[in-house]
Amino acid sequence: MNINQISFRVRYGETDQMGVVYHGNYAQYLEMGRVEWLRSLGFSYKKMEEDGVMLPVISLQLNFKKSAVYDDLITVVTILKKRPSVKIEFDYKIYNEADEILVEAHTVLAFINKVTKRPMKCPEAILEKIKI
């Protein structure tokens, strides 16, 4: 599965005094998308870390198109860009209920050995589930 989507409502604490989502919260929304993408393959970040694999973000790009506001139902679409190696890349689109694009984003994460702190290849079990 190379695409996954999740939907949730913007909480009050994620907004500024104007009711607009604070820009820093979008990184968390992308993380939520990645976590659920991985879970849809039958894996979890927690289990990966227990198995000695860390997955830090090494690059993050956000292009804001329109503001999300308090109580909006937003949908984060997470798309695996290409087959991972020592890095894994995702594209994202965040939509509101009117199906308007709020944000387009891109992240790059690196597979890191928890003990050595060195880059490593994507776990084979994940590669077997990916259809790229």
Sign of torsion, CA 105 78 97 20? negative
- pLDDT digits over 65-77, tens only? 999 999 999 999 9
Is residue 16 annotated as part of the catalytic site, yes or no?
A: yes
CB within 8 Å of 78: residues ≥ 6 apart: 3, 4, 5, 6, 30, 33, 34, 36, 37, 90, 91, 92
User: From the candidates 16, 51, 72, 99, which is the catalytic residue?
Assistant: 16
What is the pLDDT at residue 131? 72
- pLDDT digits over 81-97, tens only? 899 999 999 999 999 99
Mean pLDDT (whole number) for 109-129: 95
- pLDDT digits over 23-44, tens only? 999 999 999 999 999 999 999 9
